[in-house]
Amino acid sequence: AQKVTQAQTEISVVEKEDVTLDCVYETRDTTYYLFWYKQPPSGELVFLIRRNSFDEQNEISGRYSWNFQKSTSSFNFTITASQVVDSAVYFCALSEADTGTASKLTFGTGTRLQVTL
């Protein structure tokens, strides 16, 4: 069975600080996808990033970066120079990768990020 753990329930930072959201996952699949979604107060889940299990290259996209380490089953997400608009709940999610199409997402319980001035 797949499982995603986000140990940080809530994080508060001051604007312009960097913040890292932790994610640890469990799966028996050899190939899988990892995702980060953002859920603002409006409720809609916004897709941020997706990584394949066979590609451990870490990337930066604007103020977002992620650190995927298969050896520790972790997929951490960093926001650089946080802004008030980053305030939301962030979810890490896991899915199979051998079905040829989108398969069910297993989500963590989310980390609420509050960015203040």
Partner 1 sequence: ETGVTQSPTHLIKTRGQQVTLRCSSQSGHNTVSWYQQALGQGPQFIFQYYREEENGRGNFPPRFSGLQFPNYSSELNVNALELDDSALYLCASSPLNSYEQYFGPGTRLTVT
> Which chain residues interact with partner 1 by CB under 8 A?
4, 33, 37, 42-47, 50, 91, 93, 95, 97, 100-110
Which residue, 64 or 107, is less far from partner 1 as judged by CB?
A: 107
Residue type, 86: D
Which residue, 39 or 80, is less far from partner 1 as judged by CB?
A: 39
Strands 111-116 and 10-14: parallel
Minimal distance, residue 47 CB to partner 1, in Å: 6
Q: Which two tokens stand for residue 62?
A: 């604007």
Minimal distance, residue 92 CB to partner 1, in Å: 9
Q: How many Å apart are CA 20 and CA 1, to the nearest integer? A: 26
Q: Which residues pair with 23 in a beta bridge?
A: none
